[in-house]
Structure 1
């Protein structure tokens, strides 16, 4: 991002109720000019669909602090220290609840379900019965369809400073999915500087479930500019190619010799504009599922992301078989981050742990069916350190 941030940002900060602002002209892509803007509880206190919304703080003794609202279970901000000990907000978000109700910001930081990612034509079958979901992404259903969990007000309980428990009953037929699905998601700030997300769910009728979190990360700090110089390493030898509507073909394709080979730490922007790669054309960049090398059900380091300026390192651990890497290809500056800087093209990225997209329609993909009497259980940890 090349535009200059002027002192007028201070006026914008006051307008939105920010707790800090810039007082001098500096370029937005200079991370040392970006200040952490702490979300304020008063800007998230409201009632939506008859349920109380608030803002919660989850923290550990090392300084990791997560700000989470029970509207959509969203991570509004996540503050850790950079290589110089400076507090850095590595999750982009908005300053007010109202901004999150804007469809342009519908997935920022949110819990995603009942099924994350895409289902072809919104169609799937369980025990011989066909179901038709709403289509909200061209011909396909994306992130649960029109009634996704990003718009849900979750019940919240905070047993201690480091833990937040969110619960929700997704009723039979909601979003056209079968079964009453009882969900619990626990956010924990761990002693070893991680943000741990544990998901459990049970159902009274066979259904499909694939829960994840859609936080957008910039390890140089919110509003600090491009993520193309971040280094990314993904522990995956294969990926799932997609068609022009971003639905998997069913193939598990080797990444070796392609722009999708991140087995060695590589700058995100190094190959993202490879004009000869059809997959990058379909995704308008990286927006693809990687087949992780871990063993099913065992915690595994899926990837490592390093901020090129901050030295912040984020290791992602999960029991999931897949990781969706999205490079912010559809960000367009239509809304503002907490510090007033616009959410410009590729200024944040997503690393979503998951079962594979469109899993119900591919027999060779791990099943996402959940039956009565069984418990859906998955864990993902985003762990932070620094590289000097």
Structure 2
């Protein structure tokens, strides 16, 4: 196990650094301290060919100019918040508007666009990056001084574990996730339409035309949202279901997980033989299939296009503050917010 770090770029006079975690089997995870962005995950296919399985760039300028949250930590609150405001303890908080009058993924200067302090920890069987950031009271409109910590740990079981911790000096809302776009074909050789996804989920959240939750939680039974026995992503792209159509012909939906920490999310690409198992303690996962990716930039010599990657964002539900029937994302003063998600890579 080892960690290699180097200068990645400069931003407003500050150095942005890159860190590569390497295990004894040759798996590598590279991240930068700007937005805790995961820029590469290098794993073998069934023939032993090691390739990158996430979307990312080689320069900071590309992240600043083009990135739709590639590989980043998003927060304080992942997903959309309606009208960019919420009421808490009788006070209305006005958030930054960055999505058609709504608030998305923490706002204009969310966790994805700041430089985090990093500490490297090396052990015999794992290596970690400990990212820390203090989000001040009022930042992007949120209440409370929030001390946030995100830990990336790579071990010799080819597992990447992401642990989140946060504590605020005021009652607030917190919902943090990683926004990596996965493509298990390796080096973006193909799109993700023939990836097969299995989800232990029997309910999903209905969306309106602004991709905001309506508050209704629908059964997956007899729909293309039923991933319980596995289905290709393509099914939702060609579907005439109004929920798929309004999402841009695909998925951009929160699913309620029926199990936790028990292989509840399983993604596979049969051609490469690569598979990803995700386990989490979060109540839901947002499946986004890259429906909005535009073709006006390149990703390491590959022209960006729709369905080039998919996100599996383990989190609380978007806009939960406006829906009492959703699991709450409110965190009490001095209460520690904690969450852990594990990504295990293997080949079949």
- TM-score by structure 2 length? 0.95
Q: Offset at 1:49?
A: 4.1
SS at match of 1:183: strand
Q: Distance in 2 between matches of 1:210 and 1:343?
A: 28
Residue 106 of structure 1 contacts residue 150 of structure 1 at CA under 8 Å; is this kept in 2?
no
Please state whether the residue corresponding to 1:45 is helix, strand or coil: strand
- Residue 78 of structure 1 is matched in structure 2 by 41
CA RMSD of aligned residues (A): 1.5
Which residue number in structure 1 is paired with residue 243 of structure 2? 279
1:344 to 293, 305, 326: 305
CA contact (8 A) 2:9 2:59 kept: no
Gaps of 5+ in 2: none
Q: How far is 1:45 from its partner?
A: 3.0
68-77 or 365-374, which deviates more: 365-374
Describe the SS at the equivalent of 2:299: coil
Structure 1 segments of 4 or more deviating over 4 A?
39-42
Please give the alpha-carbon distance, in whole angstroms, between the structure 2 residues aligned to 1:49 and 1:169: 19
Indicate the residue corresponding to 1:146 in structure 2.
108
Q: Deviations over 1:113-133 (max 9, x none)?
A: 000001011111111111111
Q: Distance in 1 between matches of 2:5 and 2:142?
A: 36
TM-aligned CA deviation for residue 223 of structure 1: 2.1
Unaligned runs of 5+ in 1: 1-38
| Match of residue 12 from structure 1 | none
Give runs of aligned pairs for residues 204-219 of structure 1, distance below 5 A: 204-219=169-184
For residue 360 of structure 1, report the CA deviation from its aligned partner: 0.4
User: Higher Cα Rg: structure 1 or 2?
Assistant: 1
In structure 2, the partner of 1:123 is 85
Whether the aligned pair in 1 keeps the contact of 2:35 and 2:116 (CA below 8 Å) is: yes
Q: Residues 1-388 of structure 1: matches in 2 within 5 Å?
A: 41-42=6-7, 44-46=8-10, 48-102=11-65, 104-160=66-122, 162-275=127-240, 277-284=241-248, 285-294=250-259, 299-338=261-300, 340-387=301-348
- On the 8 A contact 2:53/2:188 being kept in 1, the answer is no
* Deviation sequence 1:222-279 (CA, Å, 0-9, x none): 321210011111110000001111111111110010110111111110242212x110
Residues 95-124 of structure 1: CA distance to partner in whole angstroms, max 9, x if unpaired? 11111111x314111000000001011111
Q: How many residues align?
A: 341
Equivalent pair of 2:73/2:179 in contact (CA under 8 Å) = yes
TM superposition shift of 1:281: 1.4
